[in-house]
Amino acid sequence: LRLFSGSANPVLAKEVARYLGMDLGPMVRKQFADGEMYIQIQESIRGCDVYLIQPCCRPVNDHLMELLIIIDACRRASARQITAVIPYYCYARADRKTAGRESITAKLVANLMTEAGANRIVAMDLHSAQIQGYFDIPFDHVYGSPVLLNYLLSKNLPDLVVVSPDVGGVARARAFAKKLNDAPLAIIDKRRQAHNVAEVMNLIGDVEGKTAVLVDDMIDTAGTITEGARLLREQGARQVYACATHAVFSPPAIERLSSGLLEEVIVTNTIPVAEENRFEQLKIVSVANLIGETI
């Protein structure tokens, strides 16, 4: 078994390697003057089971292309089995056509991975679980919820209500609520008028005097979470916590999340959060052991 890391999240990859009691394999990565990328695996991997850790986070296209090149390099180096470990699967929200003449980019990404030579995929908290079906190779879908739940349970928060910030996230929030001692569930009816602009319309359920926990797969611009938190406060929630696996954090997420609406923002380290983007209410829990166990 050999483990390699792309450039997207070497800190997480090192943690996974530590959990597995092994070192990351040596790899040279260079960029040509025109932006093209050069990758060379620097040890023999002939006949090996190779695991490549690379979340396809910002810059999404660069990290995706880097992963494809690494997979291709491994295939051409006669690896026996190539597993792409993708803690954050990019383009997951483009999982269907919502209007004519659009791309289903999540499927295109699946085609590219398979075509490059991946034999197995490990991914975490896909935006929609059906993306697994875009692949005809084994796919392990890992949930970050155990580490998020551990953290929340350790806080012993009173009068919990779990809130899904949109209708699409109800199954995820329901599963979360079940593990939080069967906490009640509330649902926000979120409507979007444009990409990356969230508009909260309505709350289904009761949050009055409660500790509300918003649960989502990702926080991108944080419009969904902060508009949701605002609504929950208006509806009488005593405190609002946010939990999400993927800290995408595109501007102006940091300003929004640190504005005081949220007691804490609990995310995992599938995507690295730069030091300068860390704020007081942010808590990052590690998924390294979950990934290590899956490998």
Please give the angle made by the CA atoms of 202, 203 and 208, to the nearest 5 degrees: 140
Tokens matching residue 143? 């949930």
Region from 9-17, 62-70, 134-142, 160-168 binding ligand R5P, contact rule CB under 6 A = 160-168
CA Rg value for the chain:
20
Q: Which residues are annotated as a binding site?
A: 34-36, 127, 166, 192, 216, 220-224
From candidates 15, 66, 217, 264, binder to ligand R5P by CB under 6 A: 217
Question: Using the rule CB under 6 A, is 223 a contact of ligand R5P?
Answer: yes
- How far apart CA 146 and CA 89 sit, in angstroms, is 19
Q: Whole-number minimum distance, CB 288 to ligand R5P, in Å?
A: 24
Q: Of the two residues 15 and 220, which places its CB atom closer to ligand R5P in the complex?
A: 220
Question: Using the rule CB under 6 A, is 144 a contact of ligand R5P?
Answer: no
Residue 283 bears catalytic tag: no
Question: Using the rule CB under 6 A, is 221 a contact of ligand R5P?
Answer: yes
Q: Of the two residues 70 and 222, which places its CB atom closer to ligand R5P in the complex?
A: 222
Q: Of the two residues 10 and 168, which places its CB atom closer to ligand R5P in the complex?
A: 168
Question: Using the rule CB under 6 A, is 198 a contact of ligand R5P?
Answer: yes
Region from 29-37, 69-77, 216-224, 270-278 binding ligand R5P, contact rule CB under 6 A = 216-224
From candidates 15, 66, 125, 220, binder to ligand R5P by CB under 6 A: 220
How far is the CA of 240 from the CAs of 22, 165, 198, in angstroms? 40, 12, 18
Q: Of the two residues 11 and 170, which places its CB atom closer to ligand R5P in the complex?
A: 170
From candidates 66, 166, 263, 264, binder to ligand R5P by CB under 6 A: 166
Question: Using the rule CB under 6 A, is 224 a contact of ligand R5P?
Answer: yes
Region 93-112 residues binding ligand R5P, contact defined as CB under 6 A: 93
Q: Of the two residues 73 and 186, which places its CB atom closer to ligand R5P in the complex?
A: 186
Question: Using the rule CB under 6 A, is 169 a contact of ligand R5P?
Answer: yes
Question: Using the rule CB under 6 A, is 188 a contact of ligand R5P?
Answer: no
Q: Which residue in 143, 147, 150, 196 sits closest to 172, CA to CA?
A: 143
Q: Whole-number minimum distance, CB 115 to ligand R5P, in Å?
A: 27
Q: Which residues bind ligand R5P (CB under 6 A)?
A: 93, 127, 165-166, 168-169, 196, 198, 216-225
Instruction: Just list the catalytic residues.
Output: 190
